[in-house]
Amino acid sequence: MSAPLEVAVHCRGLTHRFSGKAAVLGLDLCVRRGEVFGLLGPNGAGKTTTIRLVNTLLPVQEGKVEVFGYDVSRSAMAVRRLMGYVPQMLSIEAALTGRENVMWFARLFDIPRRERKARVDQALEVMGLADAADRLAGTYSGGMVRRLELAQALVNRPELLVLDEPTVGLDPVARDGVWERVEEMRRATGMTVLLTTHYMEEADVLCDRVALMHLGQKRAEGPPSALKAQVGPAASLEDVFRHFTGGTLGQDESKGGLREVRGTRRTASRLG
Amino acid sequence: MKSVALAAPPAGSAEATAAANRPKPPGLAGYPRKVGTFCLVELQKLSHDRTELFTRAVQPVLWMVIYGETFTRTHAIPTGHLAYLAFLAPGIVAQSGLFVAIFYGIQIIWERDAGILTKLLVTPTPRSALIVGKAFSAGVRALAQVVVVLALSAVLGVALDLNVLHLLGSFVMVMLGSAFFACLSMTVAGVVMKRDRLMGIGQLMTMPLFFASNALYPVAIMPAWLRALSRCNPLSYEVEALRDLLVGTPANLGLDFGVMALAVVAGVTAASSLVGRLAR
């Protein structure tokens, strides 16, 4: 372990290639303990690949990633114990009840039997799902599904919560409901949150700091207010992005694999 | 919203050192618990939707009632002193498990597409425990079918051995058989990566495995080349053991269980090494 404990996630010289093509190129990133950190950029910018390198889904090819001082290549299990993860796509088991979905993950995270039921009840209650806990998850609305996923991710009391496009496909009310709960959890517990989004206005409000990614590289990093100040007095984060990359979020249509786009659409469609 | 500690302690607190305040990892003891968790989830899914139990029962019922009854009357297949229906029943038990298990690869690809697999792979669950869990989940689902086939056999007049140990032994064998075929399917899923392709390959695997086994006819009447194939087919060892346990045809149970156990170990090893590819 080498990174100081104030650092939650530390990436150095991170490069990842798919069939020789770089998805992430020489990325240096430092997420501080307790902050909400946003990775921003359009489809194909390398956000999800970065998240997958941090959460041990992808092997590190070049460079180094540490999570709370643990090298993800050498201590993947230790890293996973510290992490809660909500992927971009809907990831609940619709044929189980809400409670069974959360209990499943409580067991996989080795929560002791004597604490398990209380922790599951607590997670469901915090996410406002106590009344619906014994209904099949397939009957939940889009916002409820996302909150159920958060309950699954939080039942382990993670030090780091990783959210990959968590509000994609949600209506504004459900989106606010998700962020309110994430923000309250963060304030109450000091948990670190690493998220990806291409909704700039969300990132502006929620994130303590952001990194703008484009074509696998980090183009800018800092608090949203500081980045906006660099560009102009009335600048938005989208202006900042345009300033540092010369493009807009929706511009690069060649990026984002078919599976990614199809998955996003499927998620949006299932969320209604 | 209630204010409760659902996440890590505040930064800078004495408790904040990353892993120090966490319960000690359970080590090897946690492995069977995780495998059991996947089996429990399968049972929970089955308990919420029992229609599958009935729809999946149709095929074995057709084999037993139409094929079995007809060939019992014609005496076309020599099965010695044993009625053909009694000879067939263990084969159909094994076939039910095979047909349930061989499509588990499709399920794991579906879970990949739905984001469930990636989330499971980010829990502190060894990949082999995930595969073993899914493999024995197939066994759990197959057992539900086995109960249906055994009940039907009894109704059709097959004199089953109801010795509890023999029944337990046959359940263990069905679990092993289903686990192996589920691993085979998940291994292929890790190679082909796509549901459509796997559906075709699933069909391509199922029928040769079934017909190149002793499920429908004795090995003795097969041509030499098919007999050789049958000896390499794990389904034959499963059927042979089930026949011994359920209808009393002598077999080398040690060999049968040994072959199936080895096949499961090989299947788990192959599928575990490939499951990570699905999440990339």
Question: How far is Cα A33 from Cα A7, in angstroms, rounded to an integer?
Answer: 5
CB–CB of B123 and A108 under 8 A? yes
Concatenated DSSP letters of A228-245 = HHHH-TT--HHHHHHHHH
Domain limits at B222? Answer: 54-73+88-278
- Put simply, whether A161 touches B (Cβ < 8 Å) is yes
Nearest CA in chain A to B121: A57
What's the CATH code of the domain at A197? 3.40.50.300
> Mean of the pLDDT values across residues B241-268?
96
Nearest to A48 by CA among A10, A75, A86: A86
Does any domain span residue B17? Answer: no
Nearest CA in chain B to A153: B119
pLDDT digits (tens, 9 = 90+) for A171-216: 888 888 888 888 888 888 889 999 998 788 889 989 999 999 999 9
User: What ipTM was predicted for this assembly?
Assistant: 0.86
Does any domain span residue A1? Answer: no
In chain B, the number of structural domains is: 1
Which range is least confidently modeled, A105-119, B19-33, B104-118, B213-227?
B19-33
Provide the chain A residues 33-62 that lie in CB contact (below 8 A) with chain B: 33-34, 52, 55-58
Residue A154 Cα, gap to closest chain B Cα (Å) = 6
Does any domain span residue A186? Answer: yes
Q: Which amino acid is at A165?
A: E
What is the DSSP secondary structure assignment for residue A68, as one 8-state letter? T
For the whole model, what pTM was predicted?
A: 0.86
Does any domain span residue B58? Answer: yes
pLDDT digits (tens, 9 = 90+) for B71-115: 988 888 898 889 999 999 999 999 999 999 998 999 999 999 888
Phi-psi region of A178 (alpha: psi -120 to 50; beta: other; left: phi over 0): alpha
Give the model's pLDDT for residue A107.
Answer: 96
Domain limits at A152? Answer: 7-271
Q: Which of A69, A87, A185 sits opposite B119 (nearest CB)?
A: A87
Does any domain span residue A99? Answer: yes
Nearest to A118 by CA among B15, B124, B5: B5
Q: If you count them, how many residues does chain B have?
A: 280
Whether residue A252 is predicted with pLDDT greater than 80 in this model: the reply is: no
Question: How far is Cα A39 from Cα A212, in angstroms, rounded to an integer?
Answer: 6
CB–CB of B279 and A185 under 8 A? no
Q: At what angle do helices B253-278 and B127-155 cross, to 10 degrees?
A: 130
> Mean of the pLDDT values across residues B25-50?
88
Q: Count Cβ atoms below 10 Å from residue B112 Cβ, excluding itself.
A: 24
Pairs across A and B, CB distance < 8 A: 157
CB–CB of A107 and B37 under 8 A? yes
Q: At what angle do helices B127-155 and B104-113 cross, to 10 degrees?
A: 140
Nearest CA in chain A to B3: A188
Does any domain span residue A69? Answer: yes
Does any domain span residue B31? Answer: no
Does any domain span residue B4? Answer: no
Cα angle value B43/B200/B143 (rounded, 5°): 25
Concatenated DSSP letters of A23-52 = EEEEEEEEEETT-EEEEE--TTSSHHHHHH
Does any domain span residue B43? Answer: no
At A149, the pLDDT band (50, 70, 90 cuts) reads: very high
Question: How far is Cα A242 from Cα B122, in angstroms, rounded to an integer?
Answer: 34
CB contact at 8 A, B100 and B175: no
Does any domain span residue B11? Answer: no
Main-chain phi, psi angles of A224, to 5 degrees: -55, -40
Give the model's pLDDT for residue A23.
Answer: 94
Main-chain phi, psi angles of B139, to 5 degrees: -60, -40
In chain A, the number of structural domains is: 1
